[in-house]
Amino acid sequence: KQEVTQIPAALSVPEGENLVLNCSFTDSAIYNLQWFRQDPGKGLTSLLLIQSSQREQTSGRLNASLDKSSGRSTLYIAASQPGDSATYLCAVMNNGNNRLAFGKGNQVVVIP
């Protein structure tokens, strides 16, 4: 069974600092990996999707990397802003499986 871990559960950073969020997974036979954002009381919004054949994906200030062999992904958010405050979740889909396994998320607060 795929296990997805995100540590720490919560973190605070000053505005302007780069954010680095880590995700680890136990089974490297993945099909893709997604990073989501969730604001309080809202649903999840997909930020980036990395296929298993890719090493990274970028969108604006966001960059996600994938190292399948070590079972890790990292989400970088450059020059953090208070509006980046949210919970970020990592989810992995395995080969031959139509389901995603989610981590419990990193709750981020960007301090003005």
Partner 1 sequence: NAGVTQTPKFQVLKTGQSMTLQCAQDMNHNSMYWYRQDPGMGLRLIYYSASEGTTDKGEVPNGYNVSRLNKREFSLRLESAAPSQTSVYFCASKQTGVWVINEKLFFGSGTQLSVL
In the complex, minimum distance from the CB of residue 104 to partner 1, in angstroms, rounded to a whole number? 4
In the complex, minimum distance from the CB of residue 96 to partner 1, in angstroms, rounded to a whole number? 12
Closer residue to partner 1 (CB): 55 or 104: 104
Write out the residues near partner 1 by the rule CB under 8 A.
32, 34, 36, 41-46, 49, 89, 91, 93, 98-100, 102-105
In the complex, minimum distance from the CB of residue 17 to partner 1, in angstroms, rounded to a whole number? 26
Closer residue to partner 1 (CB): 60 or 112: 60
* Separation of alpha carbons 80 and 18, rounded Å: 6
For 97, list phi and psi in degrees, rounded to 5.
Answer: -135, 125
Burial state string for 42-79 with b = 16 or more CB within 10 A and e = fewer than 16: eebeebbebebeeeebeeeebbbbbebeebbbbbebee
